[in-house]
Amino acid sequence: MANKSAISGLRILLGVSGGVAVYKAVDLASKLTAAGAQVDTIMTDNACRFVLPKSFEAVTCRPVFTSMWEPSLKGFEIGHISLADSADMVVVAPATANIIGKMACGICDDLLSTTLCACWQKKILLAPAMNEKMWTNPAVQKNVESLKVAGITIIGPEKGRLACGTEGVGRMSEPADILEKLIKMK
């Protein structure tokens, strides 16, 4: 387990995009909270199809944001800007090909992509997760390289058993490894 003081008191924005690895993001949120961070979670619509927002609320003791138009954003002047401004660091796990593409191209069509667009000056860690055929797609690799050039840190993906049952590169890094990488970025 990470040293609690390393990220204690930091406000971490956890972006959760829609892939089967969403279940690992709940564990990551729990580990970040246990290490003393305040975790604000934004889930895409597709992420909510894999795991309910209540799972993140339970492990972080914080509201979860899923829409630009939800009532829980009323306390913020401009929701996506307030969420971006309040974050000390940003983690996107799992980072699907879709959210990676949106980030690389500046596409803002939901709360997560809009907030991430406003976070470009923050320390950002992406944990990609997708099938190897998607990960090796030249367009995805171009987007990843573009984000690296912009200063975004990437962890993984790892080799192992994929959701489709085959072995390959595409598994999201383990939550403990993501936490350690985040601490090193601090």
HEC secondary structure over the chain: CCCHHHHCCCEEEEEECCCCCHHHHHHHHHHHHHCCCEEEEEECHHHHHHCCHHHHHHHHCCCEECCCCCHHHCCCCCHHHHHHHHCCEEEEEEECHHHHHHHHHCCCCCHHHHHHHCCCCCEEEEEECCCHHHHCCHHHHHHHHHHHHCCCEECCCEEEECCCCCEEEEECCCHHHHHHHHHHHC
pLDDT value of position 163: 84
Expressed as residue numbers, the domain containing 28 is 4-185
Residue-wise pLDDT for 149-159, tens only, equals 999 999 999 99
Which residues are known to be catalytic?
Answer: 164
Residue-wise pLDDT for 90-148, tens only, equals 999 999 999 999 999 999 999 999 999 999 999 999 999 999 999 999 999 999 999 99
Q: What's the CATH number where 176 sits? A: 3.40.50.1950
Number of folded domains that form the chain = 1
